[in-house]
Chains A and B, each alone.
Chain A
Amino acid sequence: MSISSGATAAPRGGAVGSPLLAVDDLQVEFRTGSGVVNAVNGISYTLAQGETLAILGESGSGKSVSAQAIMGILDTPPAHITGGTVVFEGRDLLTLPPEEQRQVRGPGISMIFQDALSALNPVYSVGFQIGEMFRAHQGLSKKDAKRKAVELMDRVRIPAAAQRVNDYPHQFSGGMRQRVMIAMAIALDPKILIADEPTTALDVTVQAQVMDLLKDLQRDTGMGLILITHDLGVVNEVADNVAVMYAGRIVERGTVDDVFSRPAMPYTEGLMTSIPRVEAKGGRLVPISGQPPNLARIPSGCPFHPRCPRRRIGAEAAPGRDCAVDHPPLRLVVPGREAACHYSEEVLGV
C-alpha cells in the first residue's frame, strides 16, 4: 500500500481521506515528589492506513510516553494526561469509559515492546498467551485458540510452530521471543501497530529479520505502523515519514527522504553529523554539545537552544524570534516539511 508522502507533513490537510489515528495536542506530565516532569508537551500527528511513521528521539524525549498514553497503559499516578485528544475510528480514546476503551483498543491498536522477556508472562506457555487474544476478544475455546496460535506462530516465521506452541518464553531466543510478541500483537488484525524500540535489544542480524517480518506483515494487512526508535538507520530503512522529538515536543516532521537528506532543525542536523556511517570511514564526528534537558526544568524559549550551534539570543535575534525567550512553534517551512525552529529557512538554505 503506498501513501502520499506528504500525508503526515500536512497533518490536518485531509489529503488522503480520514486518517486512521489522529493525535492532537497530547500532553502528559508526571507528578513526582520532587516536582512535575513534563514528559509530553503537546504533540500532534496523524497516521494513515499502510503508513509507517517513525517517532525518533533520544531517551527522555517523550517518545515512549506518548505511545503509552495512546495505548492507555500509563501508570496513573504518577503520570497524568493533562490535555489533548487521541481520535481513533471517530472516537476520542481518552474520554471513553475504561471498558469501552478496552473494546476499541484491544482489536484495533496493539503494541510491541523492546524487552520481550519482561513483556511476556514467564509462567504461561507462549501458545496460551497468544491464544488469550482470541479467548478474550472472540470467545474461542482453549483448543481453537491454541490452533489459531500455531497459525500465527507460523505467520511470524517461528520454525516448528506446532512443536513449540507449548514452550515457555525462556525457552526462546531473543529474536524468537520478539516474534511471539508480534504474533500476539497481530492476532486480531489490528489497524495500528505501535512498535516501541522493537529491535533495540536484538543483534543486528536478528534486527534485520524482525524488521523484514514487520514490513511484510504490514504489506499483507495494510496496518499503520508507528515505529518508536532512537536508531536513525532503522528509520531510514523502514519508515515513510518521521517525527523527531526533543524534550517532549515534535521538533521536525516530514518524509524520511527529506528530513534525512536536508534537516530543517539544528537538532536533527546534529543527530546526522553525530553518527558514524558503515559505508564510509568518514572524518571526525560532529557531536551535539551538552546533555539532553531535564524534563522537570525544560529551558525557556526553544528547548534546544542551550545546545544549539545556530542559536540567536538577544541582539542577534530577529524581533520575536529570540531562541532563549520565544518558543518556536512547529510550522510549515517548505511544502511537506514542518520544523520547530525560528531559523529553519537558514538551516535548509532556502
Chain B
Amino acid sequence: MSDDSSRPSDRDQEVARAAAGATTGSGASEHGGTTASEPLLQLKNLEKHFPLTQGIVFKKTVGHVRAVDGVTLTLGRGETLGLVGESGCGKSTVAKLLVALEKPSDGQILYKGRDVARMGRRDLKQYRREVQIIFQDPYASLNPRMTVGDIVAEGWSVHADIAPKKGRLQRTQELMDRVGLNPDFVNRYPHQFSGGQRQRIGIARALALQPEVIVCDEPVSALDVSVQAQVVNLLEDLQDDFGLSYLFIAHDLSVVRHISDRVAVMYLGSVVEEGTDSDVYGSPSHPYTQALLSSVPLHEPHLRGQKDRILLQGDVPSPANPPSGCRFRTRCWKAQDICATEPPALVDRGQGHPAACHFAEARSVVPVDVE
C-alpha cells in the first residue's frame, strides 16, 4: 500500500474499504484489509518529546521532556495488551498518541499496516472511528451539560453512516442496555450517575462507533473495589462479543495481569520488559519489573512474607534529563559501567521473553499460590 494517500486511486480504495468496515463492523471479529498474521496495530520506535520553554513573550526551548522515548509494541486482533508503569512513565502519552490526540515527535504508528501520520483527512477520520478511548476519570471525561443519550450518540454526528438518523434513540438505548445501564435513563445527566455507571457511559460512547481497538487509559483506577470488578467483567464480555482489541493501560499490576494476554512494563518513557502474563509475572527478568512486582501487596494472609522484598531507593529521575545508557541504572542494584554508556536493547537474553537489561535474569518474586 502506498504511503501517499492523497492520490485519488488510493483514496477511493480506502473509502471502499471503510464502507466495508462500517457494515461488517458490528459483531464481526474479522474483516478484509489485513491478513491474519499481520498485527492490527504496531508502534515502531515511537517518540514524543514535549518542549520545555522559558520566557513569556520570547519563548525559547530550553529542553525536552522525553515522555515517550522509543516505544515499540504490537497489538493483535482480539488481543489485550497491558501497559503498566508508575506515574510519569509515559503510558498515558502513548494512549494519546494512539488516538491521534497528540502527534508523535518521531517513530510510526501503523494501523493495519498503514502509517497513521501519513493518512489523509478521510482515512484519519476512519482511523479515529476504529480506535476509541476510555478515560480514567469518569467525572471529567463526560460533558456535564449533555444528556447520556447525547453523549453516546455524539460520535454519529461525525460518522453518520454508522447509525441512520431515524433509529438513533433506539440504538443508544440498546448500547446502554449492553453496558448495563437502564435504557430509561437516556435523558439523564452525568451527575445523576455513580462513578461506575459513568464509566459505563464512557464505554457505551466508545462502542457506539463500532471500534476495532479500544485504548483503556486507567479505566478502573477511580472506581471502588466492588464496582471495579463489574467494569472489568464488562470489558471482557464486550471483547468476546465484538472481537475488540484492547490496549489496557493501568498502574495496578493485579488488574493488568487479570485482563491481559500480553504485558509491557514501562519505565521513564520506554518499555523495559514485555511478554505474556506468565512471562512477566512468573519470571520477571528486568530489575525494575522485579522491584515493581515485589512492591505489590498480596491479598492472601498465607502468602504474606513469602515475597521477595526489593525496596527501591530514591525517586524516578526527571524525564527532562534522563540518565545516560540504561534509564533504570540510577536505582538499580545490578548497575555496572556498561549500563551508563550503552542503552540495553529490548531483546530476549535467554529468558524466553524480551527485557531491556544487560544483566537480565529471570527471578521469581511473587509467590505462586498453590491453593
Contacts and interface: CB of A to CB of B under 8 A. Distances in A.
Interface stretch (B9-17, B40-48, B148-156, B224-232): B224-232
Chain B interface extent, by class:
35 or more
A74 interface: no
A274 B229 contact: yes
Nearest to B89: A203
A232 B251 CA distance: 16
A231 B299 CA distance: 9
A271 B226 contact: yes
B298 A208 contact: no
Interface in B213-272: 224-230, 232-233, 236, 251, 253-255, 257-259
A277 B299 contact: yes
A350 interface: no
B295 A280 contact: no
Interface string B270-294: 0000000110010000000001111
Interface residues of A, number: 47
A231 B232 contact: no
Contacts of B367: 279
Interface stretch (B158-166, B167-175, B301-309): B301-309
Nearest to A255: B301
B229 A209 contact: no
A85 B253 CA distance: 41
A232 B299 contact: yes
A279 to B, nearest CB: 5
B229 A286 contact: yes
A204 B288 CA distance: 12
Contacts of B83: none
Contacts of B204: none
Contact of A203 (B86, B226, B254, B277): B86
Contacts of A333: none
Interface in A16-74: 58-59
A103 interface: no
Contacts of B301: 236, 256-257, 260-261
Chain B contact surface mostly: helix
Interface string A91-129: 000000000000000000000000000000000000000
Contacts of A159: 314
B97 interface: no
A139 interface: no
A155 B224 CA distance: 34
B233 A284 contact: yes
Interface in A240-268: 256-257, 260-261
A205 B312 contact: yes
A305 interface: no
A173 interface: yes
B36 interface: no
B258 A282 contact: yes
A278 interface: yes
A6 interface: no
Interface stretch (A185-193, A287-295, A311-319): A287-295
B225 A285 contact: no
B196 interface: yes
B368 A280 contact: yes
Nearest to A230: B225
Contacts of A257: 301
B277 A236 contact: no
B326 interface: no
A83 interface: no
B72 to A, nearest CB: 24
A209 B291 CA distance: 12
B299 A260 contact: yes
A284 B236 CA distance: 9
B238 to A, nearest CB: 14
B224 A280 contact: no
A177 to B, nearest CB: 11
B199 to A, nearest CB: 12
Contact of B258 (A173, A209, A285, A286): A285
Interface in A193-207: 203-207
B315 to A, nearest CB: 5
Given A230-B225, A279-B368, A204 B253 contact: yes
Given A233-B297, A236-B300, A281 B229 contact: no
A208 B304 CA distance: 14
Q: Which of A173, A261, A291 has the most CB of B within 10 A?
A: A291
A205 B297 CA distance: 10
Nearest to B309: A208
Given A204-B253, A282-B258, A260 B300 contact: yes
Nearest to B230: A287
A217 interface: no
A277 B232 CA distance: 13
Nearest to B303: A279
Q: Give the most central of B259, B294, B299: most A CB within 10 Å.
A: B299
B369 interface: yes
A228 interface: no
Contact of A59 (B224, B296, B298): B224
Q: Which 10 A-B residue pairings sit nearest by Cβ, starting from the closest?
A: A233-B297, A287-B229, A276-B258, A274-B229, A208-B295, A203-B86, A288-B226, A58-B224, A285-B229, A287-B230
21 contacts: A176-B315, A209-B312, A230-B225, A233-B297, A236-B299, A237-B298, A237-B304, A260-B300, A276-B259, A277-B298, A278-B293, A279-B300, A279-B303, A279-B369, A280-B369, A281-B257, A281-B277, A285-B232, A287-B230, A291-B194, A291-B227
Given A58-B224, A203-B87, A279-B367, 14 more contacts: A204-B292, A206-B86, A206-B315, A209-B312, A260-B300, A274-B229, A276-B232, A277-B299, A280-B369, A284-B233, A284-B236, A289-B230, A291-B194, A291-B227
Interface of A: 58-59, 159, 173, 175-176, 203-209, 211-212, 230-234, 236-237, 256-257, 260-261, 270-282, 284-289, 291-292
